Amino acid sequence: MNTTTSTQADFTQQAKRPNILFITTDQQRADCIGYENSLLRTPHLDALARAGTHFSNCITPSIVCQPARASILTGSLPLTHGVWDNGVDLDPAVGQQGMAAKLAASGYATAFIGKAHFSSKITFAPTGTPECRKSAPDYPDDWFGPYMGFDHVELAALGKFHRNRLPQDAPTIHRFEHWLLSHPNALELWKSSSTEGSGAAQTWDSGLPAEWHSSAWVADQTLALLHSRKDEAKPFFAWASFPDPHHPFDCPAPWNSMYDPADMALPAHRTLDLDKRPWWHRAALEGSPQIADPELAKFRSEGFKVPPQTDQQLAEMTANYYGMISHVDHHIGRILKGLKQAGLSDNTLIIFASDHGDMLGDHGLYLKGPMFYEGVLRVPLIVAGPGIPVDQTIDTPVSTIDLAATFLQSAGLTCDSEQSRSLHPVMHRMETRECAWSEWQVHPARLGVALELRAVRTARYSYTLELGSGSGELYDLQEDPQQLVNRFDDEDWGDVRKQMQDLLMARPGPVRVALTEPVGIA
């Protein structure tokens, strides 16, 4: 699906292999960043975009956390690497074939700080992974890796809490949570609200001091890492993973007052219209998680579904979400300043992305899926650093699975995944691409219904198919950017549907037939 004007070249002819600093957020929409949204203040990310290249059509390989994150690490789609839903762990043997392990084997110092979510944290039984809450206490207190190819690891295993499921303690190796709970009354302050609000779902102005927040912690630990590398000759690959702006929407001061709900531009179409949508939309919203454990079933049902919100509630949720993004941007600015102060910025490739988006009221929906609308499917992606064209926007469809090949090529290595393709030729205008794929095999434990969802996105069209029933969605993003009119069953759109179906079925790489059962819920 490539159109190339040149054979793939090495775009990293440098005296030294570059450091690679990869910064991610969790659940950030592509249109929730300053250069796409004039209401949002993200000066540091905007400056990074001007200093490099940003992609306006970057598609997540899955619209849910664990599959999307495993895809970034491995450079493979979910049904190839095997993490097909939340609660399904990435096989360590597969993780050890990912980009971090390959960079480490080639001489890079590899480090991970923040939310990994390559394995499940809330599980039915101990699984043996460091992320698992029931297994982490078995690890020695001085454990800092290795894990999934990273030599040095500092986990924010949860990263986010839920008011109805608060931890009483935290294993030492869950570094952020253990550190946070060492502060007196931390969780009481976190769940307290400084304003009354209108009752927006999972939304409040948290009383947690900003310096105790996970965003501050990820930045602090990343800065310490950068400082330790300033005199090292060995190149590094560091992944700094912020848990925000994932729900609950719990922005601390002063960022929780940065945006006035009255100023928020709400989606033009923000009411449910399930009669106009495929059957699985209603089934997912009205179903109940099929989980034997009643406590976990209640937690999933309450924590991962949002009832209809009033305009005032949606405005408050949006303002809080924006504040969380600006808060993260502040700490990204600290990291970039620290990189420069350490004398590392001239030879460091800097990449910013998110794992997936958030519906944020589009179509009357919230959080994520299983609807592959643009709000959750499209994510921000910025690449800056030595050899990267500056102040450039790329419109061709790409995927975050392409980052594995991009990082490896930057280090002078090759990527053996047929699904991950380096972005260097795209950034240098030597290659365009026709489409990007996304997929989610939804387990009944999530929403009470099993779904086989596959999606493909071109620059103009978005196409989703539920394989089990053959029903689907087709939207013309050029003429219908709000995705109001589903053309899937429109006879006049038969040619476009066939084109998109052919692209969907042209998905490269193997598909696993035997899928591992979930070991938890998240």
250-277 per-position pLDDT tens digit: 999 999 999 999 999 999 999 999 999 9
Q: Which amino acid is at 273?
A: D
pLDDT in tens, 345-401: 999 999 999 999 999 999 999 999 799 999 999 999 999 999 999 999 999 999 999
**CA–CA distance, 49 with 520 (Å, rounded to integer):** 38
Q: What percent of the chain has pLDDT over 70?
A: 97
pLDDT bucket at 233, cuts 50 / 70 / 90: confident
- Domain count within the chain: 1
pLDDT in tens, 458-494: 999 999 999 999 999 999 999 999 999 999 999 999 9
Structure tokens at 70: 């495993």
Per-position b or e across 263-295, b if 16+ CB within 10 A of its CB: ebeebeebeeeeeebbebbebbbebebebeeee
* Alpha-carbon radius of gyration of the chain: 22
| Residue 191 in domain | yes
Pairing of strands 52-55, 392-394: parallel
The pTM for the full model equals 0.96
Burial class (CB in 10 A: 0-12, 13-18, 19+), 31: middle
Residue-level pLDDT at 194: 86
46-58 average pLDDT score:
98
**CA–CA distance, 472 with 488 (Å, rounded to integer):** 6
| Residue 108 in domain | yes
Structure tokens at 316: 């408050």
Give Dmax over CA atoms of the chain in angstroms.
65
Residue 100 has pLDDT above 70, yes or no: yes
| Residue 353 in domain | yes
More reliable by pLDDT, 197 or 57: 57
| Residue 508 in domain | no
343 phi/psi in degrees, rounded to 5: 75, 25
pLDDT bucket at 180, cuts 50 / 70 / 90: very high
Residue-level pLDDT at 300: 74
Q: Which of 506, 375, 492 is nearest to 433 (CA)?
A: 506
**CA–CA distance, 206 with 195 (Å, rounded to integer):** 9
Look up the CATH number of the domain holding residue 187: 3.40.720.10
| Residue 138 in domain | yes
| Residue 487 in domain | no
| Residue 22 in domain | yes
| Residue 203 in domain | yes
Q: Helix axis angle, 311-341 relative to 214-229, nearest 10°?
A: 10
Residue-level pLDDT at 290: 83
- Cβ atoms of residues 147 and 96 within 8 Å: no
- Cβ atoms of residues 103 and 56 within 8 Å: no
352 phi/psi in degrees, rounded to 5: -125, 135
Q: Which amino acid is at 294?
A: P
Domain that holds residue 220: 16-268+307-434
DSSP-assigned letter for residue 267? -
3-class secondary structure, 201: coil
Task: Give Cα separations from 108 to 73, 101, 112, 228 (angstroms).
Answer: 16, 9, 13, 14
